[in-house]
Chain A
Amino acid sequence: MKSRVGFTAAWLLLACGCASVQVQHAAAVGTAGAAWGRAVDALLLLAEETAVDADSARVLSEAQGLSRDERRVVLEKHASIENEIADIERLRRHARLLARYFDALRDLADPASDRAAEAAAARALESATALGREISGSTLLSGAERDLLSKSSGLLVRGVRERALSRELDARSEAVGHELAVQQALLDALRRHIRADAASLKDLGRQREVSRPFLENRIVEPSAWIAERRLYTLPPPAADLLSDASDTASRLRTGWAALSEGRLDGAAWAALLADADTLTSWVRAVREARR
């Protein structure tokens, strides 16, 4: 009986050991993917706000020198901004869904439940041994066998997770790969959109708040004018970070493709984890820039 228990546990240890590498990779891709989904959501919010502000700046600029009726026509021509905002809101909902997907992938790859199962099994086996001692004076299992059995319980849980992970990659590797390709195209479109709107805001704002009041000699508060001029002269902080995000999108796609095909080298894994950190700082920087 004892030798059969030992044999079964040792077999489980051997059988489950080889798949753990893919689980580690899935955890890395899950962490990076969730961070990326949240960063895209933050970027979409930034795009939304920049688009509305730039549109308002254009309305103000284009209304100069026009009659009341003509101004109304200008306002009507700018009504389509609402459609654009509705589109961005739809994209934000999808970015949040993508982040949730990668959260689920990371949770499934997290070994915490294996360790919990191992600890629970160890406690259960200790109790069983204590009961056996009380009933028949036998310890039933030696300490080494108890240890082996509790480890095999952890491996059993890991086996369940690994099979689920394999099923998930088989079922959705193509769809998620395609999703990430579209996400990369979206990021590129947003980057161009935000840059164009930020440039409009800067050019039109500088004329409205800085040059025109100066040329027309209607500066009421010089300190406020100086602050405005500084605002329009300093470069926007998020510009370079946007191109970093595009690189990360490309690496995430590569990471996902490698995970689906069961390959990912250590350097690529480390780069993905570093990307997750970079993206977290990037989201923070985007939020700061918005303020």
Chain B
Amino acid sequence: MIENDAAEAARSKLLDLLRNRVRAPIERHADEILDSFGDDNEALSAFQLARADLDALISHVEDEQLKDLSLRLASHHDELTAGIREMAESLRAAKTLTHSAELFGTVVGVLARIVALA
């Protein structure tokens, strides 16, 4: 758990750095940067493909983060399912007591009416 937390904190820091310190300023000024290349198409292509590489790297780290969290949550799946099933069964047992009382009341009520008529 502690190891997981430390790894998660490091990954979160890396993502913050890549998203907010590297990608965000480029995106904020993307048009100005592209204009600055002028007729140098080769440099422009290299820059644009490098942006796509940066996105792929961020996406990869995000994917790892979500996968890891998903895996950690999935380890509780069986426990939660068993809890839902057991609580539902207990509630059904409690309701059975009520139904029994209702049934008893109905039968005895009918009997009382029959005896009264006899």
Please give the residue numbers on chain A whose beta carbons come within 8 Å of chain B beta carbons, in ascending order: 55, 58, 61-67, 70, 73-74, 77-78, 80-81, 83-84, 87-88, 90-91, 94, 97-98, 100-101, 104-105, 107-108, 113, 116-117, 120-121, 123-128, 130-131, 134-135, 153, 156-157, 160-161, 163-164, 167-168, 171-172, 175-176, 178-179, 181-183, 185-186, 188-189, 192-193, 196, 199-200, 203-204, 207, 211-212
Contact = CB atoms under 8 A, between A and B. Distances in A.
Interface on chain B toward A: helix, strand, loop, or mixed SS? helix
Given A83-B63, A124-B108, A178-B76, A62 B12 contact: no
- Greatest chain A CB density within 10 A among B12, B99, B112 is at B112
B62 A108 contact: no
A172 B59 contact: no
B83 A172 contact: yes
- Greatest chain A CB density within 10 A among B56, B66, B86 is at B66
Interface string B78-118: 01111110111011011101110110111011011001100
Contacts of B53: 77
B94 A107 contact: no
Interface residues of B, number: 68
Contacts of B44: 65-66
B86 to A, nearest CB: 7
B96 to A, nearest CB: 9
Given A65-B45, A70-B49, A80 B59 contact: yes
A134 B115 contact: yes
A256 B94 CA distance: 24
12 contacts: A66-B44, A66-B48, A77-B55, A80-B59, A104-B87, A108-B91, A125-B105, A130-B112, A167-B86, A172-B79, A172-B82, A176-B80
Nearest to A47: B66
Contacts of B19: 192, 196
Interface string B1-44: 10001001000100110011001100110110010010001001
Given A62-B52, A185-B8, A94 B74 contact: yes
Interface on chain A toward B: helix, strand, loop, or mixed SS? helix
Contact of A77 (B56, B73, B108): B56
B45 A124 contact: no
Given A164-B90, A199-B27, 17 more contacts: A61-B27, A65-B48, A66-B45, A70-B45, A77-B53, A78-B52, A83-B63, A98-B80, A101-B83, A120-B99, A127-B111, A167-B86, A176-B83, A179-B76, A188-B12, A200-B27, A211-B31
A67 B45 CA distance: 9
A178 B1 contact: yes
A74 B49 contact: yes
Given A61-B27, A189-B69, A124 B105 contact: yes
Contacts of A203: 24, 27-28, 30
Contacts of B74: 90, 94
Contact of B108 (A87, A98, A128): A128
Contacts of A199: 24, 27
